[in-house]
Amino acid sequence: MNQDDLKRQAAEAALDHVEGGVIGVGTGSTVNHFIDALATVKSRIEGAVSSSEASTARLRQHGIEVLDLNATGELSLYVDGADESNGRLELIKGGGGALTREKIVAAASRQFVCIADESKLVDRLGAFPLPVEVIPMARSYVARELVQLGGTPVWRDGFVTDNGNLILDVHNLQIEAPAELETRINAIAGVVTVGIFALRPADVLILGSAQGPRTLT
Ligand code: 5RP
> Which of 83, 159, 162 should be mutated for ligand 1, with most atoms under 8 A from CB?
83
- Give CA–CA dist 193/83, Å, rounded: 16
Work out the average pLDDT over 129-149. 98
- pTM, whole model, 2 decimals? 0.95
Q: Could you tell me which of 107, 79, 103 has the C-alpha nearest to residue 92? A: 103
Work out the average pLDDT over 16-36. 97
Q: Torsions phi, psi of 113, nearest 5?
A: -100, 115
* Residue of 12, 90, 102, 145 marked catalytic: 102
Helix, strand, coil percent content, the chain, rounded in steps of 5:
35, 25, 40
Work out the average pLDDT over 142-166. 97
Q: What is the dihedral of CA 139, 144, 148, 152, to 10 degrees?
A: 70
Residue-wise pLDDT for 185-214, tens only, equals 999 999 999 999 999 999 999 999 999 999
Residue 116 alpha carbon to ligand 1 centre in Å = 9
In the three-class reduction of DSSP (H, G, I as helix; E, B as strand; rest coil), residue 38 is classed as helix
Residue-wise pLDDT for 83-135, tens only, equals 999 999 999 999 999 999 999 999 999 999 999 999 999 999 999 999 999 99
Mean pLDDT of the chain: 97
> Which of 6, 30, 58, 114 should be mutated for ligand 1, with most atoms under 8 A from CB?
30
Indicate whether 174 pLDDT > 90: no
